[in-house]
Chains A and B, each alone.
Chain A
């Protein structure tokens, strides 16, 4: 079955850029009807959707983070990545990557297009704690 694994530095200095990678195994990141997502959770708090990317490279971001977030995909490595710039202590959290099932208005045998409506997140990576501190 599909599995996801986050990797990257656990400590980032304030004002620097947080960089994480999610490696997908057991399935292809080029599958047509999925988004590949990043979600974070500060200690003791709820979940926050950061954004997602489609295999084509098309991205969507949480409006509250949009100015600082970049998500990219490397289909040759079956990986996607997160960059969050100008971090502060408020960005300290467990960061999860997850596959998102989506409903697209138009699909061929190999790809979909149009506004994909995010339906669910499954599976999730185990999560990685990123602490922002000097």
Chain B
């Protein structure tokens, strides 16, 4: 199994919206609605931000939203805030009891 493809970096100004893509294949992202997104600050453990493509856990701001089209999932952060600057990782069920992560995207708030 190969890692999901994410852009290494993304950026936006406070108040703007940014979308991070996560491209897989028809064997993972394209086949299952089990895409999740994680936020990670330096030196900290990842935190679940989105699951089942577009669902938000309790406590996650509604500025974070997820979607999927074909083999590509996306995370959109609206109304960017300084605290959103972090690494973001996507993950997908990949069939046959396998799980795959994306390489991660560093989001910078300008």
Interface residues of A, Cβ cutoff 8 Å to B: 37, 39, 46-49, 52, 60, 62-64, 96, 100-101, 103, 115-127
Question: Which residues of chain B (25-74) have a CB below 8 Å from chain A?
Answer: 32, 34, 36, 38, 44-48, 51-52, 57
Residues of chain A within 8 A of B86, CB atoms compared:
none
Quick one: closest A residue to B104, CB to CB? A46
Q: Interface size of B by Cβ–Cβ distance < 8 Å?
A: 26
Quick one: closest A residue to B46, CB to CB? A124
Q: Contact between B32 and A46 (Cβ–Cβ < 8 Å)?
A: no
Known: A62-B98, A115-B97, A127-B45. A120 touches B104 (CB 8 A): no
Q: Contact between B97 and A121 (Cβ–Cβ < 8 Å)?
A: no
Bitwise, B57-95 to A at CB < 8 A (1) or not (0) is 100000000000000000000000000000001010100
Complex: how many Å from CA A125 to CA B47? 10
Q: Contact between A60 and B51 (Cβ–Cβ < 8 Å)?
A: no
Complex: how many Å from CA A7 to CA B15? 41
Q: Contact between A121 and B98 (Cβ–Cβ < 8 Å)?
A: no
Residues of chain A within 8 A of B44, CB atoms compared:
126
Q: Contact between B100 and A121 (Cβ–Cβ < 8 Å)?
A: no
Quick one: closest B residue to A117, CB to CB? B93
Q: Contact between A121 and B48 (Cβ–Cβ < 8 Å)?
A: yes
Q: Contact between B57 and A118 (Cβ–Cβ < 8 Å)?
A: no
